[in-house]
Chain A
Amino acid sequence: MKRLSLRGATRVWERNLWVYSKRWVYNILPNFFEPVFYLLGMGVGLGAYVAAGGQFEGGYTAFVAPGLVAASAMNGGIFETTYNVFVKLHFSKIYDAMVATPLSFEDVAAGEILWAVTRATLYGTAFLAITLFFGVPLTPRLLLALAALPLIGFCFAAIGTAFTSLIDSIDLYTYFWTLFVTPSFVFSGIFFPIEERFPPALITVAELTPLYNAVHMMRGIVRGEWEGVGLNALYLAAVGLALSFFAVRRLGRRFLA
């Protein structure tokens, strides 16, 4: 990565901030509201019945909330690096304009990932604030939760970019969503402890998914249950780094033909 300059990446990031700052209102709403609806529907709604079983310490909503915070960071990181990057790469051609300036392709890619991390952090932070009204206690641990958001964002930004580097038709994202994002969302322990419901083989599969690690880490931090949290963080960082390198190399080779 000798062609990467942090300053160059920052300038690409700045461009996105510039665009975003002019219309964040209608950009932030959809991605932000989705987990809020889940919080209301699953936590407050369904939670009333679940709580009757009395298995969730602090209430079902408080159990679901940290996982949804992780999911909102995932959404921010993924959305930015899938559809948005694909459109810039193949339709609007703005990367072509960027690489004709002193920016290298690596700068552009790093800037985009950095931006995706920023969005993920913004969504996650806003969402974390909302969970305070739903039974998540305000503790100093939440500072660590804030710091965990960019890590989650980074991992999923890398995953999104890697998938984008593999496809040449925008229609293929539906596969990504139905076969990866949605099952992750449903089966990563956000809504129920998979350890209690899954057979052992499936538990192992679930534990290997990035969202499981993000959810486990976030819930651990929020509740002060530290076991495995460090490992989750390492896992997210490793997947993020490996897939970033893979994606940037692959995209660069195709793009600079």
Chain B
Amino acid sequence: MSELVVQARGLTKSYGPLVAVDHVDLEVHPGEVFGMLGPNGAGKSTTMRMIYRVSALTSGSLRVFGLEAGRDDRAIKSQLGVVPQMDNLDEELSVLDNLLVYARFYGLDRALARKRALELLEFLELSARSKDRIRELSGGMKRRLTLARGLMNEPRLLILDEPTTGLDPQVRILLWDKLAELRGRGVTLLLSTHCMDEAERLCDRLMILDHGHVIAQGPPRELIANQVTPQVIEARLEGELEPLEKACADLGVELLPAVNRVSLFVQDGRQMLEELERRGLFLNGAYIRPGNLEDLFLKLTGRSLRQ
């Protein structure tokens, strides 16, 4: 068993009275894709910032690549790549120069830096833009450049804070492919996202944070299987809710009403629809889908807005 890439015990961060990260235990294994989910303000970025050593721990212990946080920060950071939530590219430098200057911060020699920068621009399909100024790039291009920058030192662990937020579907799919490719090369990935589809698709394991606490952790399929029914019926609600509520209570089925819509969490959707019809209840526009991560997420974190 090779050593853990990240090992945190009781990781805690307070800002005055606010406990942003509250006794989080976390283990990231070599070569896996580990996801962090959670509502706005749950503490995802704060946790990541402690891991990539720009934020001090309030308490707890943290090891990255087996090195102790706080003591071996330089060594830890030299093997990390970071894509922060907000792009912080150097606006005073061109696309290519952003990579070259950043490489110097890692002490890469110029020839090697140049070679890698050109390769990475190619990899992220930015070669045609290498001379542009940062402000001339679109949001998606900046995101890709930030990823390229995070790869300049060939990191063992790449930390991505909401890498695909605000991107169009084409760029998102491109990034997913690139991340899959990196994983194939053995890079460990730690990423946060609000896109459940992305988490389900990419992550080997994930954790859900809420108010700084870990409220679920494990492989996505396992988490879904344990806590969400295999199938969900989605339907429009046109008549009264009450008869449907009664039937569901009778059959022990969880019903989630929304405006003009209902979701029914069931073992077998077809069978349920037949049963409802037998009781004279016809659901309009009903379709059956498998239970998914979003169901789990909403079940655990509730439907109310944060802050």
What is the distance, in angstroms, from A107's C-beta to the closest C-beta of chain B?
Answer: 9
Q: Is A184 located at the chain interface by the 8 A CB criterion?
A: no
Interface residues of B in 134-191 (CB under 8 A from A): 149, 153
Residue interface mask A30-59, B partner, CB < 8 A = 1: 000000000000000000000000000000
Please determine whether B105 and A102 come into contact, CB atoms closer than 8 angstroms: yes
Interface residues in A, total, Cβ within 8 A: 23
Please determine whether B104 and A14 come into contact, CB atoms closer than 8 angstroms: yes
B74, B78, B89, B149 pick with most chain A CB within 10 angstroms: B74
Cα distance, A167 to B101, chains bound together (Å): 29
| List of B residues within 8 angstroms of A103 by Cβ | 105
Q: Is B86 located at the chain interface by the 8 A CB criterion?
A: yes
Q: Is B294 located at the chain interface by the 8 A CB criterion?
A: no
Contacts A11-B105, A19-B92 given; indicate if A256 touches B54 (C-beta within 8 A): yes
What is the distance, in angstroms, from B88's C-beta to the closest C-beta of chain A?
Answer: 4
Contacts A18-B93, A102-B78, A257-B15 given; indicate if A96 touches B106 (C-beta within 8 A): no
B91's closest neighbor in chain A, by CB?
A: A92
Contacts A14-B104, A15-B104 given; indicate if A102 touches B92 (C-beta within 8 A): no
Contacts A15-B101, A101-B105 given; indicate if A94 touches B73 (C-beta within 8 A): no
Please determine whether A93 and B105 come into contact, CB atoms closer than 8 angstroms: no
Please determine whether B88 and A93 come into contact, CB atoms closer than 8 angstroms: yes
Please determine whether A18 and B97 come into contact, CB atoms closer than 8 angstroms: yes
| List of A residues within 8 angstroms of B102 by Cβ | 97, 101
Q: Is B295 located at the chain interface by the 8 A CB criterion?
A: no
Q: Is B194 located at the chain interface by the 8 A CB criterion?
A: no
Please determine whether A101 and B106 come into contact, CB atoms closer than 8 angstroms: yes
Interface residues of B in 78-130 (CB under 8 A from A): 78, 80, 82, 84, 86, 88-93, 97, 101-102, 104-107
Cα distance, A6 to B52, chains bound together (Å): 22
| List of B residues within 8 angstroms of A257 by Cβ | 15, 55-56
Interface residues in B, total, Cβ within 8 A: 30
B90's closest neighbor in chain A, by CB?
A: A94
| Among A7, A19, A102, A256, contact of B77 (Cβ-Cβ < 8 Å) | A102
| List of A residues within 8 angstroms of B53 by Cβ | 100
Please determine whether B101 and A18 come into contact, CB atoms closer than 8 angstroms: yes
Residue interface mask A118-143, B partner, CB < 8 A = 1: 00000000000000000000000000
Interface residues of A in 190-226 (CB under 8 A from B): none
Cα distance, A145 to B54, chains bound together (Å): 41
B15, B56, B107 pick with most chain A CB within 10 angstroms: B107
A-B contact pairs, 12 of them (CB 8 A): A18-B97, A92-B91, A92-B92, A93-B86, A93-B88, A94-B91, A97-B149, A99-B54, A100-B53, A100-B54, A102-B74, A102-B107
- Residue positions of A touching B, CB distance < 8 A: 5, 7-8, 11-12, 14-15, 18-19, 92-94, 96-104, 256-257
